[in-house]
Structure 1
């Protein structure tokens, strides 16, 4: 069940520092939304608010509203662990658990939640997630081998398998291909396009071509100067943002004049 995400006047803080200011936007289900903009404008900070990972940092907090299918994710009765289960995260560098086998990496979300399952269930979940991450055919004969023995691109797809194994509603990707070679990057991009059939997908990327290739919607963030908050400058269909943006700042960024 992919979810519709609505941000209403969202401010994101690190202690007293306002990192991202007054973001209002709707992220549609079954679509890829790209966050673009120069370094330091709050893209990664904002994506971490979507699954309540931002608040893990001491003194970090969020003001405003973040709704998923109408439910306030930061409501007083909402369990952040449940939110993180519903909203999977794939990081910049592949980070499989190095001491775990490929299979145990995929099942780690269930084990962290102390979910009991039969051997047959575990095998079914493993295969389904690895098929979903386009990795099954490459690793099906070595599921008991360490995940850290895979190539960088395979490790990143293993991390995607780990994220989708627990059947979340949303997949967040924070620059998932920045550490990968072009062939692995293309594999992850193809996979992202497949994932949007089942999930809401949000991707932070510095790669303009990647955003224009795979995303349906693009949000451009910018920062007026060092120490000032990042702001959402323009949010529209990707094709419009890249070919006919409304804001001069967007035009300057996507055409390579700065960034």
Structure 2
């Protein structure tokens, strides 16, 4: 299921404003890639461009290419809804649908895609998705209770279960642990390690220790100043990025001198 992504000279615009400039990178399948960098440097904007989620903002568009296994995700014949089905997103704050049960939260994406599914198939999908998110044993006896009744960490894992229920090939995570306590954060990090055997995972994080713990490769973004576009400064294997980066600005950031 996991897919390779190749980005070639990508520029992201909001109207006349160039938000992210000239990104070229390859994201390996069955791996975790972390995006790090100071606030406002375009990490989340670039992450959202991978599944065309940024397009929900009026005036947003890109120049350049994002290829998934050779297919241009911005091709004229490509449906953005199909892109988002194949490339799931987990957001910064857990966002289960508050009026829906745990079970219906897991199935929400499947039903949104107008897929007909039998009760038995739905039951199997709910269990497999919750097991995949390492949540099944905690909620199996209260599947009809509201998802909003779970703890923050459980809600985030429920959102991950909802994302993987539609069988995506890539999972994007925008600071998935920033609203969570340390124990819940550890649970999500363990889950990310489990999921990478099946998915291509890209995570934005402000937590340097987290990037070092969970990712195989790390990409450092930076910005020259207010109103300037974000840029990819360098990308390499995570141990290299945290020990012997090529650029001084990367070294300054990962060592805590700025950001």
Q: TM-score, normalization: structure 1?
A: 1.00
State the partner residue of 1:105.
105
Shift of 1:115: 1.1
1:68 maps onto 2:81 in alignment = no
State the partner residue of 2:24.
24
User: Matched residues in 2 for 1:13 and 1:102: separation?
Assistant: 37
State the partner residue of 1:44.
44
State the partner residue of 2:247.
247
1:195 maps onto 2:195 in alignment = yes
Q: Secondary structure at the match of 1:211?
A: helix
Aligned pairs (5 A) from 1:128-139: 128-139=128-139
What is the CA deviation profile of residues 179-235 of structure 1, one whole-angstrom value per residue up to 9, with x for unaligned ones?
000000000000001110000000000000000001000000000000000000010
User: Matched residues in 1 for 2:13 and 2:74: separation?
Assistant: 14
State the partner residue of 2:82.
82
State the partner residue of 1:57.
57
User: Matched residues in 2 for 1:142 and 1:186: separation?
Assistant: 24
What is the CA deviation profile of residues 2-41 of structure 1, one whole-angstrom value per residue up to 9, with x for unaligned ones?
1100000000011110000000000000000000000000
User: Matched residues in 1 for 2:193 and 2:13: separation?
Assistant: 32
What is the CA deviation profile of residues 98-123 of structure 1, one whole-angstrom value per residue up to 9, with x for unaligned ones?
01000000000111112111110000
Q: Which moved more, 1:153-162 or 1:112-121?
A: 112-121
Q: Secondary structure at the match of 2:154?
A: helix
Shift of 1:56: 1.0
Structure 1, unpaired ranges of 5+: none
Q: Secondary structure at the match of 1:65?
A: strand
User: Matched residues in 1 for 2:208 and 2:227: separation?
Assistant: 25
Shift of 1:175: 0.1
CA-atom RMSD in angstroms: 0.4
What is the CA deviation profile of residues 40-96 of structure 1, one whole-angstrom value per residue up to 9, with x for unaligned ones?
000000000010101111000011000000000000000000000000000000000
Q: Secondary structure at the match of 1:39?
A: coil
Structure 2, unpaired ranges of 5+: none
Aligned residues: 259
State the partner residue of 2:141.
141
User: Matched residues in 1 for 2:252 and 2:117: separation?
Assistant: 53
